[in-house]
Copies of this chain bind each other. A is one copy, B any other.
């Protein structure tokens, strides 16, 4: 693979900003870093080598499909700093593949799998100092694929931009013991034939209002049901869901309306490794209410226990804490991610130190 372009010099402002970061207090909010990766491609062509440029506003046509018609995809993955100061990324190939699927759905030109991974690596490398110290957070990486050319009608974009930026982050939810979810029986996140199965920007702004309403009633997030029957659980606003009963761990199937989470896939594998039976199948609300344990998985939330679920007037409490399977799975996953246990699965991709 080509070595990263040598980053352009940046101002001493960045050093000051860096010196003032309180790693302990990072939530899931933007702390701008120094560089981003940008590549562009015209309709009918494919992406060639992009470049690392200083992080900052981009210039875009008012008539672009991303601004007018929501033609955009995003990804989210993380880089981790190990105790011995190596920097590693978790399964970037999976995010690359998901962007390919999304691009197909939205009629966009995606970067190749290698270009995606290389761009993520270059972005991390250029912002190396922003990967928090071990145990104090992670560097969240946000690849975007957006329709950036000018097109008045609803049509594929004349130009596509692939951009990668990053921000150090801490925890996604400010929770102690677990999430308090509200089952939404009125609104759906996705519908069959829609874009629920890909990471399209169009899946997110429609849930903001529902999320704010749920939060103002004291809930941490919403649990959506399927639009077709209204009987089965799908996922939360930004993570997948699992239920546990006895030796069986169940999670809704990825049949087009839920996002195929990379964490979901990894946690399923880890649960199987320790002897659980993992079932990908329709999970009804009734079953959810009778589960022993419920948890969410996602890059941002990692593995987070659900403490309560409220459905209409019914509120159910689940096992959380040390005895919970989710606690065990979370440790198994983060131990691999942070290099505390050996990665026997080939999930971690190291950023080559000599490139720095």
Contacts and interface: CB of A to CB of B under 8 A. Distances in A.
Interface of A: 28-30, 32, 36, 55, 57-63, 65-72, 74, 105-107, 140, 142, 144, 146-147, 150-156, 163, 165, 167, 169, 172, 184, 186-188, 191-195, 200-209, 211-212, 227, 237-238
Given A163-B62, A194-B188, A238-B154, A144 B67 contact: yes
18 contacts: A29-B153, A30-B152, A32-B63, A62-B165, A65-B205, A68-B201, A69-B74, A70-B72, A70-B201, A70-B205, A72-B205, A154-B205, A154-B211, A187-B193, A191-B191, A194-B206, A200-B205, A202-B205
Given A72-B205, A191-B227, A194-B188, A62 B151 contact: no
Contacts of A207: 154
Copies of this chain, tallied across the complex: 2
Contacts of A227: 191-192, 227
A63 B202 contact: no
A57 B55 contact: no
B74 A68 contact: yes
A155 B58 contact: no
B205 A106 contact: yes
Contacts of A30: 63, 150-152
A111 to B, nearest CB: 16
Contacts of A154: 204-205, 207-208, 211, 237-238
Contacts of A55: 62
